[in-house]
Every structure is written in structure tokens, then in C-alpha cells.
Amino acid sequence: MSDNDMLERRNVLRSIAAIGLFSAGTSGVEGNIAGNQSSDALASDEIQGVVPAPVTSTSTGSEYAITSDTAIHVESKAAAGVANYLAGILRPSTGNELPVVDAHGSGAEDSISLLLTGAPTTVGEEGYRLNVNAHGVTIRANEPPGLFAGVQTLRQLLPPTVESDTEQPGPWTVPGGHILDYPRFSYRGAHLDVARHFFSVDSVKQYIEYLAQYKMNHLHLHLTDDQGWRIEIESWPKLTEIGGSTEVGGGPGGYYTQSEYRELVEYAQDRFITVIPEIDMPGHTNAALASYAELNCDGEREDLYTGTSVGFSSLCVDKEITYEFIDDVIREVSEITPGPYIHIGGDEAHETSDEEYDEFMDRAVSIIEKHDKRPVGWHQILNADPPESTVAQYWYPGQEAPDVAEAARDGTELIASPASHAYIDMKYTENTELGLDWAGLTTVKDAYSWDPGRFLEDVDESAVKGPETALWSETLETLADIEFMLFPRMPAVAELGWSPESRTAWEEFRQRLATQGSRWDVQDVNYYESPLVAWP
Ligand code: TNX
């Protein structure tokens, strides 16, 4: 990290509260049926154990068991996609056939029905109603994402062993009751840095699957940085040939071909997750500067970089070829990105003066708009007064940011990623090996203890699209490393993004987290067993 950067960060550091280590007051919680465990914060007739907490739930005491007679009923092709996803989870562990059948004309007996009719309009596009009685399970939604969210809830109502990929004994009972559920924020995101260390297509797919499990709906892929360029650009092939050839620590790096990237986008789309590609500029560009001499002001190629400093590189703001380069890159990335957003970074551009930064961002942002995408940038982008349609991602740790608040009042939408809570690349404690600590240590309680709608002073909740976790990968090399940082903090932030503020009490959350731990055990997730949670 450069001195400059250290300084900047120190300036924005909050003081970190000492971590209180206390043991949970309840015994390990197994299962999830209301009534077999007690919780102070939840009425006992609520359905227990679901993360994110549903808006309302009532337990009725009856139950339904999935058996070899159970079928999955749908009435439309759109619902069949979600039904097949559900069947893909249930078949291996239950060993049941679970045929997906057209429900028209058949009774609802012994079925899991996924219906795009009869849901209250108030649940919107992503919400659902879930009913369980002795005859079966019915999930109703207005749109497929709502059915999908309901399916994620159903998964958590079943015993943890349902997550196994080999046949398990069962019984596969679902507690009887009703759930009405919909998200607080329309945007619930997770970022992944594949530039500092490269992660395979399969690892990113697994990451996407984890996000889906907790009802996250955006994946922000940090595709380029000083240490690596990870997305094939056909018109500038050396970006990946040279710029993609290494990573932090000097490993082999790697990159996604455009067809691999499309595969990821589709995998995410199938789970109603929008991919937001980030091409960071004008700083964080050493990999590009090492690939093409002409992008450098002095016309000479930089050396590849495998360290972890930031803020030392910049595209050459005064050269016309810089903007031709950006136009090509954004055009190609836009063509393979169906989602509305392109993230252009804009952080830590310490090598450009304020005037250069403004001039550069004006042009870069208009290139993104020219390709019909909506620009997103780290909040420093606001220094360049971008058009109001630009989304700003707030990432400093503190709650006071008058410039950001002013932009929000003037109509700029914000994504909330305060480093003090949502930077899950921070270490949990001094003794956990992976991660950084420039924003302090971040326990799962820290990750949970903030309000994305009210974090920034003088910013109204209506200006906040929602929260996003950030996972930078300077110290992370494997999927197991990613899992260690992600669990249990990602589900914590996912709940803040989904559940009403009134449902987010730490004491109650940590009990529900414990029940998730049994699922992660079955899923073989390398989660951090935080001592703040009474894991089973
Ligand atoms: C700050 S957050 C960065 C990244 C680092 C990260 C490490 C941001 C916009 N820039 O370049 O990887 O800290 O926590």
C-alpha cells in the first residue's frame, strides 16, 4: 500500500470497538420448526431459522413431508425453470423423483406448487407467499424472481441434510405455516475481486450459488486491476495474454474468455442475479499499462505487478488512444453484459490531478452511456460531477460524507458498502489469518450492526439502492479462502438488505445463523466459526 493511500485510509478510519467475545445463551439450535426452540425476540408461533428473516410468518403446527409421491406443480414455462432448479436441489438428497408437472387440472395433493398467480401485489417482483399444510407446499409470486426467493426459503425449512449431494435418510418434513415475504431494498449485492487473485469459472459459479441462497441479486465482478486483467477483449488481445498472466504473489493468474464470461452471466441470470462488470480506471490499471506501451504517457510498457500497493498507476489522460481503448473495452464488455450497469471504478486515482480526473471521467462516463449502460463508480467519482444517472458506491468506513450526501439529495443513487461493516475482506480478529485490517477488524456482529438505509448522515433511505459486500482478494487464493471470509458475514449483510429493519436484532439473528451452520456443514462450506455464534 502506498503512503498516499495509507494516509487517505487513516483519515477515514473510524475507531474500532473492542470485540466482545461472549458465548451464546441458547443451546445449539437444530431443526427449524417453530416451538422446538425458544427465542426471546421472536414470537414462538413464527417459523424459525430462516435467513434473511421473512417479513411475516406464522407456524400452524401441521407439517408436510416430501415423499416419493411428491410432484412439483407448475402452470407456466417461467415457473418450470424455477421448479427444475428446486428439483436439482431436492432430488440428490431425498432420492425422490420429484417430477415437474403441469398442474392444470390436477389436484394440489402431495405437491410443491410454484404458481405465478394469486400473490398479493404488495410482494412486488421479488416477494412471495409460502403456505405449508398437510397436503403440500404452495409458493405464489408475481414474477419468477419471487418464486425463486420462495424456493430459497423452502430449502431452509427442510432439514440441513437436504443440502447433501448424496441420498440421505430424511424424513423430509416442512413445518406447516404461512410466510409473506419481500425485500426491503431492490439492490442486494456482493462484489468479488478476481483481479488480485484469479478464480476459476467453477469457483465463481459456486459464489453465485451462495449469493442466491441468501437472496442476493447483484454480483459485482472486479475484473481488472494493477495485478491482472481478467476479461478477454478481442480488439486488445494482449490485455489478457500479458495482463492476465499473473496475480498477487506471482502465481499464474488467468482470465475469462468472453464465452466463459457469458456462461457466468447466464448462470447468474438463471438465479435472478445481475452481473455488474467493473473495469477500474483511470487508476488500478497497471495490468493494461504492462500489456500495451501506447497506453502509457511515456510510450513504454510497465512491468507486470504482483504486489499489493494501490494508487500508483494511471491511464494516460492526455492521449486520444486512451479513449479509443476505453471505447473498445466498454463496447465489448457491454455486448456480453445483459444487465444495465458497467462499473468504472474511479477509486484511488492518486496519479491524476483533480482537473485530469474530471476531464477523464467526463469522457469515460459518456462512453458508457453511449453504449447504453448506466455508469457505476466508487464514490470518488462524484468529485467529477458525473451525470445524475451515475450510481455511486460509498466505501469509506465513516458515516459522515457531506459531498456524497449532497449528491444523494440531488438525486444520485447510492450503493452502501461502508468498509467498517461491508468490507468482508477485513480480518475477523487479530488471530484469523486471512484478510486485511485497514478498516479495522470486522466480526459477524459488526457486519450485521448497521442500517444500510441510515448509515450515511443526511442521506435519506430513498437514495440508497441497497447494501453490497466487498471481497477484495489480496490475501485470498482459493474458494475455501473465499468461503471463510464470506460465511457468516455475507448472510448477515444479505439479511440487512432483505429483511425489514424491525426484524434485524443481533441476539435473534445469531441463533438463526447457528441453524445455518448445520447447512454449511452439509454443504462443506469452509465457514469461520465465530465464537459469537453458538454453532451446533
Ligand atoms: C481499497 S475499496 C480498495 C481496493 C483494495 C481494498 C482492500 C476500493 C475502492 N479500493 O483497491 O483492494 O481497499 O480492502
pLDDT digits (tens, 9 = 90+) for 520-534: 999 999 999 999 999
Domains 3-181 and 189-474 share a fold: no
Query: Could you tell me which residues come within 8 angstroms of residue 474 by beta carbon, excluding any fewer than 6 positions away?
Result: 193, 196, 197, 248, 308, 425, 436
Residue 225 CA to ligand 1 center (angstroms) comes to 10
How confident is the prediction for the chain on average, in pLDDT? 92
Residue 20 CA to ligand 1 center (angstroms) comes to 27
Tell whether the model's pLDDT for residue 6 goes beyond 60: no
Query: Could you tell me which residues come within 8 angstroms of residue 4 by beta carbon, excluding any fewer than 6 positions away?
Result: 311, 350
For residues 136 and 100, give the distance between their C-alpha atoms in angstroms, rounded to a whole number.
14
Residue 323 CA to ligand 1 center (angstroms) comes to 25
CA dihedral defined by 467, 469, 472, 473, rounded to 10 degrees?
-160
Backbone phi and psi for residue 91, each to the nearest 5 degrees, phi listed first: -65, -50
Q: Whose CA is nearest to atom 2 of ligand 1?
A: 395
% of residues, the chain, pLDDT over 90: 88
Rounded average pLDDT over 491-497: 98
State the pLDDT confidence band at 349, using cuts at 50, 70 and 90. confident
Domain spanning 189-474, CATH architecture: Alpha-Beta Barrel (3.20)
Tell whether the model's pLDDT for residue 8 goes beyond 80: no
- CB count within 10 Å of CB 196 equals 23
Residue extents of the structural domains in the chain: 3-181, 189-474
The pLDDT, as a whole number, for residue 13 is: 38
**Is 181:139 a contact under the CB 8 Å cutoff?**
no
For residues 341 and 218, give the distance between their C-alpha atoms in angstroms, rounded to a whole number.
10
Residue 355 CA to ligand 1 center (angstroms) comes to 23
Q: By mean pLDDT, which of 57-66, 347-356, 496-505 is the weakest?
A: 347-356
Ligand 1 site-directed mutation target among 310, 437, 438, 476, most atoms within 8 Å of CB: 310
Tell whether the model's pLDDT for residue 90 goes beyond 50: yes
Taking alpha carbons only, the member of 263, 227, 256, 257 closest to residue 243 is 227
Look up residue 86 and give its three cell numbers: 428446486
Look up residue 41 and give its three cell numbers: 425476540
The pLDDT, as a whole number, for residue 415 is: 98
Q: By mean pLDDT, which of 26-40, 221-235, 382-396, 398-412 is the weakest?
A: 26-40
Look up residue 20 and give its three cell numbers: 466482545
Taking alpha carbons only, the member of 341, 280, 352 closest to residue 314 is 352
Q: What is the pLDDT of residues 18-35, one digit of tens each?
A: 222 222 222 222 223 233
For residues 469 and 394, give the distance between their C-alpha atoms in angstroms, rounded to a whole number.
11
Helices 201-213 and 489-498, packing angle to 10 deg = 50
Look up residue 174 and give its three cell numbers: 416442512
Q: Whose CA is nearest to atom 7 of ligand 1?
A: 472
Q: By mean pLDDT, which of 20-34, 480-494, 509-523 is the weakest?
A: 20-34
For residues 129 and 123, give the distance between their C-alpha atoms in angstroms, rounded to a whole number.
8
Q: Which atom of ligand 1 is nearest to the CA of 473?
A: 12
Rounded average pLDDT over 91-115: 89
Active site amino acids: 348
Tell whether the model's pLDDT for residue 62 goes beyond 60: yes
Domain spanning 3-181, CATH architecture: 2-Layer Sandwich (3.30)
Q: Which atom of ligand 1 is nearest to the CA of 425?
A: 14
The pLDDT, as a whole number, for residue 44 is: 58
Rounded average pLDDT over 395-404: 98
For residues 392 and 374, give the distance between their C-alpha atoms in angstroms, rounded to a whole number.
11
For residues 12 and 423, give the distance between their C-alpha atoms in angstroms, rounded to a whole number.
14
Rounded average pLDDT over 413-423: 98
Total-model pTM: 0.92
Question: Which position has the higher pLDDT, 489 or 12?
Answer: 489
Cβ < 6 Å from ligand 1: which residues? 310, 347-348, 378, 395, 423, 425, 436, 472, 474
Q: Which atom of ligand 1 is nearest to the CA of 439?
A: 14
Q: Which atom of ligand 1 is nearest to the CA of 470?
A: 2
Residue 125 CA to ligand 1 center (angstroms) comes to 33
The pLDDT, as a whole number, for residue 300 is: 98
Ligand 1 site-directed mutation target among 2, 344, 348, most atoms within 8 Å of CB: 348
Ligand 1 site-directed mutation target among 227, 472, 473, 475, most atoms within 8 Å of CB: 472
The pLDDT, as a whole number, for residue 109 is: 82
For residues 464 and 468, give the distance between their C-alpha atoms in angstroms, rounded to a whole number.
11
Q: Give the position of cell 450459488.
A: 209
3-state secondary structure of 285: coil
**Is 91:97 a contact under the CB 8 Å cutoff?**
yes
Tell whether the model's pLDDT for residue 38 goes beyond 80: no
